[in-house]
Amino acid sequence: MQKREIILICIMGVAILYGGYTLLFQDTASVRAKGKDIAAADLKAMIKDMRSMVAKERPSELDMYKLSLAEGTEMADPFLKLPKADLAGQEENVVVTTNSTDYVYSGYVEFNRRKLAIINGEEFGIGEHVDENGCAIITIGPDTVRLERTDPASGMREQIIVPIREDIITFTEDRNAQRIPQ
């Protein structure tokens, strides 16, 4: 063997002997426990400091009010049309009708504080005209829709309350839809 190979083998042997000595003869458990104790003590000290800082700097009433506003109670959209007040029977020149076969209210959708009604198979929002007769939607609810139209000749306003009518459809095993008679 060459001289440099002998030197490398000697260095490897010394490293192996040192590793074996530290593994077998030194008390490594006490060294590890000391490290854990130091880390736990540092963590407890940090927690104690954080608690004292939080106790010193309590939020003011104004800050608490700001936080309560920011917790998800958003302001209403100023550009969203609001429904008219439900004053049926209190206003003059208003006739309320509950039986109407001209309109079928078959669905209700609400998203982003906007309500949509499915009337005669089409979607409408509050304030939109449903047909050519000038009938517009005043209020939309999960059970009923209130429509209003004004007679141009007499000036009388007619409000129509349309209840929801759901279509029940069942699917047979061959995936063909069949309407159940009601």
Q: Which amino acid is at 162?
A: V
Residue 67: alpha-carbon gap to chain centroid: 19
- For residue 86, what pLDDT is reported? 45
Q: Which helix H or strand E contains 111, and what residues bound it?
A: strand 105-111
- For residue 106, what pLDDT is reported? 87
DSSP for 60-83 reads PHHHHHHHHHHTS-PPPPTTSPPP
CB proximity list for 112: less than 8 A, separation 6 or greater = none
CA-to-CA distance for 38 and 42, rounded, in angstroms? Answer: 6
Which pair of structure tokens corresponds to residue 160? Answer: 């129509």
> Residue 127 carries which DSSP code?
T
Q: Which helix H or strand E contains 145, and what residues bound it?
A: strand 144-150
CA-to-CA distance for 133 and 123, rounded, in angstroms? Answer: 17
CA-to-CA distance for 182 and 178, rounded, in angstroms? Answer: 13
Q: What is the pLDDT of residues 128-148, one digit of tens each?
A: 999 887 889 999 988 889 999
Q: What stretches in the chain show pLDDT beneath 50?
A: 85-90, 170-172
- For residue 153, what pLDDT is reported? 82
CA-to-CA distance for 105 and 163, rounded, in angstroms? Answer: 6
The pTM of this model reads 0.42
